[in-house]
Amino acid sequence: MILAFLLVITQERFEVSPREYIVSLESPVRVEIFPLRVEKFPLERGFYKFGKPGIAERVFEKEREETLSNIPYRISDTSFFRGEKVGRLIFYPVRFDPKESVLVYESLRVSYEKPKGKEMRRKSFENFFARSNQWFKCKVDSQGIYKITGRELERAGFSLSGISPDGFRLYNIGEFSPPVSYPETMVEVPIYVYTGGDSSFDPDDYILFYGEGVSRWDKYLDNYFEDIFSLYNYYFLTYSNEKGKRMEILPQRREGGPPLRPESKVHFEKENLCPARGGTLWLWDMIVKRSDEERIRREYSLPLPEGESLMGISLRVFSQNRGFSLKLFFNSILLDSQFIPSANLPDGKVIRVERVLPMAEECRVEIEIGGGGDLTVFLDWIEVTFLPKRQVEKPLPLRVKRKGDYFFQGKEDCILLDITERFNPKILPYIRNGDSSFFSIPDSEPKVLFLAPLSRFRRVLNIEEKSELSYSYLSNLSADFIFVAPKAFRKLAYLFADYRRRRSQIRTGVALLEDLYDFYLFGIQEPYALKRFFQTKCPDYALLLGDGNYDYRGIFAPKGPEIPPYEFGAGFSYEVYERYPLALDSWFADFEDSPMPVYPDFILGRIPIRDEREGMAYLQKLESYEKKIGDYRVRFLFAADDEYLGDPYNPDNCGLGVHIRSCERLEEVLPRYFAVKKVYLTEYPLSQVRDKPEARKAFSDCLSDGVFGVVYFGHGAGFRLAHEQLLNIEDVFNLKTRGQFPFGFFGSCGVGRFDDFEVGRYREAIAEDLVRNPDGFIATIASTKATSPSTNEVICSSLLSSFFSGRSLGESFLTSSLYDVSYHFFGDPSLLSLLPQEKEGIRVTSPLRPKENASLSCSLGVKEERVFSSRVFYGKRFRRYTSTVFFDGNPYIFRIDYTLPGFEVLKEKRKEEFSFFSLNFIPPAGIPLSPVGDENNFYQEIPNTARALSFFVTRSCSAFCIVWDSLVRDTVPGEGVDTSGPQLRLFAEGRELSSLETLPKTFLLTGEFSDPSGVYISPYLFYPRLFIESDEINLSGILEGDYRRLKFRLPLTLSSEKNHLKLVCYDNFLNRSERLFQIITSLSPHLKIISPLAYYKRGLLTFNFTLSHPAEVKIKVWTISGRFLESFSLYLPSGRQVVSFPIVLPKGVYLFRITGRSFSLDEEVSLDEKFLVF
């Protein structure tokens, strides 16, 4: 039983956001409400903007729109989680009492059971393809009579020898309705088989069948269904010993009376825009009328060469505007004029006009929009009902509404089908008299017909041979962890499955996306295939290998190998704040068929790779993460947004300081021994509006130093963290973690919006690119839509608590994401925390004093060789931060208190053999204990919070750490004496640098600081730095080694021919050393390829080299005997390059040649080298 008590008064502020609990509805839920305060507030129920002068500003201290509820709580979104009935309990801390016209502030006490789930039962699904060994998958895109010749079947692999024409059978999925209503078996479609009168089926013989695309008319041509998920329908042809279904030929007859003409109908719909860049709303055109325009008219050309007389026209429009006038013209003739009060989602406004008018070969429909103010109206489709021309020249659907005799005219013989029953078409005979053909409808029921001249039969787009064996593996698949991939990533999927099976000792399996479409939806390429597959398998884990976006049909860009997400809902705005539409991978993991609500039943992740190279890079990263044990696993980074949106005149509409407070509370969830880093944007100045470059650098430096996890709370988008640009998507691949791959949680809006892409601008999202970066994150968790700060904190707290208790990251995500299923998991969900054991260090009683040796020790028991890294931190710092923000131009004083980590004053890494560990060092001087700043903005070290942390890795790769907590620090110096500063050395191009050197424009600079008392590394005042002319580089974050001898590596590209470098460093006694270097670079046009190196691992060949200038690079590979194997070409910028390509190489010695071609320099250079595969 969980007891939760929510106090909505915090620091004399009222929290107005609703609070949510995911509760089991199979156990009692007890709720108690405690009124806290009642205020007269002369407002009616509705939307209010808080932050105005008066009560609202004093109570809420922020500007935000909230809906005031008149009920204290409600339970909604009831569904099932792993077979257990669950719901969402929503509590409203502030509600409006309409009877008393007052605002009521309340707290809540609720006792409930968390959902645990039950044992899931797999759904059964019959292997339809088991009834035949050979199948031919026929691809069609639209309505028509299709012809397949014997010669085409032979080319596809079907042998015509000795077969009977009676054995052909054709199947189709039949009626279906996305996103969840699909049959579990196919229907047999009757066909017509032409054999030339004999009993064999020869190459020139053919099969005719009536086929439709996935977008289609309903039974009587009344409504047209546009399938937004796919473009193609599929018919499966097979052969058996039993006679297949054939088209029935109706009796020929005449009813008598004057013959009538059937009408036809055509649907025009162009998918030119998806205004929300997601979801299910695709539209033809956007008509925009400005406020200074009285009206605007738009013209649409409709090719209708087969039409003679217009019978009627209809169209659908959408608009978010409350009302507008619309005039409809056909070939400049006014058909209708009306005022439309509303055309909003989901149905819009359908306008239907019946009118008889003559038609031209090119018809025009004009729409005129009028009304006050700015107006935006969207056109969805246009439909035209007409009488066809007397001479039929092309296939047409026809509609007859009553019994009687009908006729059509045409010089060519036709086939006429009754398609009223769409999956049981019948041949309707006619009597031909010259150019006129007569047929009869014997009953009064409406009929839909299809007429096609014999020369205008359609051909299937593709015939692909399939065998039952190609699908049988899906029937037999049983695994705990399933990898789903498109066929282009088949090899990659099996490498992932094999690695996870060996590493985690679990059953793994692979399913190919195209096979899932065939097996579960009979070729229809729609998301429900994955859902139905998972319902039948009930895995513990699944991983989708492939990127995806909302453009299912490739309308805006060609489709690559990918796994589309499930898109739900419709909307007009692409902003993340519109809750729907929504991309939901979690829908695949919910065994319930309802579109919403979604409660995933198993653990699902996605690696959004776009090619095999990205997949291999992630697999290498995964192997390294699970093998490499380092001290970064006990460091954690919290990053938080500041109090405004880019500048003080735009205060944060989520609440001032709310993101920092979330981080502060979540720090308590971490294991005690973790060393916490913080990048709070309040700590960094604006260089200009919407830019804090120092925060950006601090964030990058923390990742380079290595952290186990990253949590960010604040504003964001798919392309940016924070309005002040903490991280831009353009910079993601420049981030370096140096092989210390963290996981990341982003409590922000849209950072995980992987399904969105805008051609020519932002095509990806930060969360997915961080995972794609070979030196980036091992996993990220982020939302595709807008999020709530309070819910973000609940999700993250649940996630971290579960993960650090020993559950996998994916299992922790599963239960926490129930609060908001817009969150997605990018990466392998089976990752474990692999936390080290903790040992207690021997208690230290003497304080840490500058200029006096300090010693920390611990007994380790068995003597063995260990790699250890140690870090020492001075005490945590209390921070009072005060600033001025402006609400509607009025100043407001914002104040917040929080803590910052203590200064890091020592770090070292060594390998030794010992049984008793002792860390001896001299604490640095110069860091005060007293407050720094004034009474409104200051830092003060919290007494007795200094700490040391040592991390050990044994030969057997087990890890443990030792923590010395609550160390006392004193600023009174000891009696140590040291008057000389550190020794400073720089190296480049394989040599130590003197005061005057000539170097290439781009090179790797390495440096070394050494001092017996220790090098001062704290970022406070005296940190080591490098000056290039007037630009300063803080080296604290990239130093490694023994604290008495630290090194750094820094890639540099110099922009001048003469460059002055200055290196400054202090020791722990604050003795200063400085060295000056003058670097001459030759910027003349000479292309160089520097230090080429190649290595091969698990199917990936990686080349490492440096380019002096941008160049087109070609790499060729030979065996040692000179047999050519492979070549690769790509264009690369200047600087260090690491490029990888998939290739299979057996053990041996190989040759490679790298050729660079600079077009700007008109220069080409080549280097030949060898590499070994072992």
pLDDT tens per residue across span 949-965: 999 888 777 888 999 98
pLDDT higher than threshold 50 for residue 738? yes
What's the order of all strands across the beta sheet hosting 1045-1053? 991-992, 983-988, 1002-1010, 1045-1053, 1040-1042
pLDDT higher than threshold 90 for residue 51? no
Work out the average pLDDT over 293-314. 91
pLDDT higher than threshold 60 for residue 65? no
Q: Which two tokens stand for residue 21?
A: 């609990």
803 SS3 class: helix
- Give residue-wise pLDDT tens across range 579-608: 788 999 999 999 988 777 888 999 999 999
pLDDT higher than threshold 60 for residue 841? yes
The whole-angstrom separation of Cα 766 and Cα 342 is: 38
Question: Are 776 and 732 in contact, with CB atoms under 8 Å apart?
Answer: yes
Q: How many CA atoms lie within 13 A of 630 on its CB side?
A: 17
- Give residue-wise pLDDT tens across range 668-688: 999 999 999 999 999 999 999
pLDDT higher than threshold 70 for residue 62? no
Rounded to whole angstroms, what are the CA distances from 450 to 84, 145, 245, 345, 453? 50, 8, 20, 34, 10
- Give residue-wise pLDDT tens across range 225-263: 999 999 999 999 999 989 999 999 998 877 677 888 899
Least trusted range by pLDDT, from 556-560, 741-745, 771-775, 959-963 = 556-560
Q: Which of 625, 628, 709 is nearest to 674 (CA)?
A: 709
- Give residue-wise pLDDT tens across range 420-436: 999 999 999 998 888 88
Question: Are 905 and 930 in contact, with CB atoms under 8 Å apart?
Answer: no
Q: Which of 124, 150, 153 is nearest to 137 (CA)?
A: 153
Least trusted range by pLDDT, from 62-71, 630-639, 744-753, 1069-1078 = 62-71
What was the pLDDT predicted at 69?
52
What was the pLDDT predicted at 760?
44
The whole-angstrom separation of Cα 199 and Cα 163 is: 9
The whole-angstrom separation of Cα 331 and Cα 309 is: 12
Rounded to whole angstroms, what are the CA distances from 778 to 615, 831, 989? 12, 9, 33
What was the pLDDT predicted at 1001?
80
pLDDT higher than threshold 80 for residue 1149? yes
Higher pLDDT, 686 or 4: 686
Residue type, position 632, single letter: Y
| Residues recorded for the chain | 1174
What was the pLDDT predicted at 195?
93
Higher pLDDT, 256 or 188: 188
What was the pLDDT predicted at 864?
77
115 SS3 class: coil
What was the pLDDT predicted at 162?
86
Question: Are 236 and 137 in contact, with CB atoms under 8 Å apart?
Answer: yes
pLDDT higher than threshold 60 for residue 712? yes
User: Percent of the chain, pLDDT > 90?
Assistant: 58
Least trusted range by pLDDT, from 66-80, 754-768, 1013-1027 = 66-80
SS3 content of the chain, % helix, strand, coil (to 5): 15, 45, 40
Query: Which residues have a Cβ under 8 Å from the Cβ of 761 and sit 6 or more positions away?
Result: none
Residue type, position 674, single letter: F
pTM of the model: 0.85
Higher pLDDT, 31 or 779: 779
- Give residue-wise pLDDT tens across range 1116-1146: 999 988 889 988 888 887 777 888 888 889 8
Query: Which residues have a Cβ under 8 Å from the Cβ of 1035 and sit 6 or more positions away?
Result: 1007, 1023, 1024, 1025, 1026, 1048, 1050
What was the pLDDT predicted at 739?
92
Query: Tokens 């849209």 map to which residue?
Result: 750
pLDDT higher than threshold 50 for residue 884? yes
Which pLDDT band holds residue 556 (cuts at 50, 70, 90)?
Answer: confident
pLDDT higher than threshold 50 for residue 129? yes
Q: How far is CA 887 from the centre of its chain?
A: 35
DSSP state letter for 200: S
Least trusted range by pLDDT, from 309-323, 325-339, 539-553, 1040-1054 = 1040-1054
Least trusted range by pLDDT, from 85-99, 225-239, 966-980, 1040-1054 = 85-99
Work out the average pLDDT over 528-535. 96
What was the pLDDT predicted at 102?
59
Work out the average pLDDT over 384-396. 87
What was the pLDDT predicted at 45?
37
What is the residue-averaged pLDDT of the chain? 87
What was the pLDDT predicted at 579?
78
What was the pLDDT predicted at 1?
31
Give me the residues paired with residue 912 across strands.
866
Question: Are 373 and 403 in contact, with CB atoms under 8 Å apart?
Answer: no
Stated as kind and residue range, the H or E segment containing 493 is helix 490-504
Question: Are 669 and 797 in contact, with CB atoms under 8 Å apart?
Answer: yes
- Give residue-wise pLDDT tens across range 451-487: 999 999 999 999 999 987 778 899 999 999 999 999 9
Q: Which two tokens stand for residue 706?
A: 């290595």
pLDDT higher than threshold 70 for residue 447? yes
What was the pLDDT predicted at 99?
61
pLDDT higher than threshold 90 for residue 1011? yes
Work out the average pLDDT over 800-824. 93
Stated as kind and residue range, the H or E segment containing 78 is strand 73-81
Give me the residues paired with residue 636 across strands.
676, 709
- Give residue-wise pLDDT tens across range 1053-1107: 888 888 999 999 999 999 999 999 998 886 556 788 888 889 888 888 999 888 8
The whole-angstrom separation of Cα 211 and Cα 763 is: 37
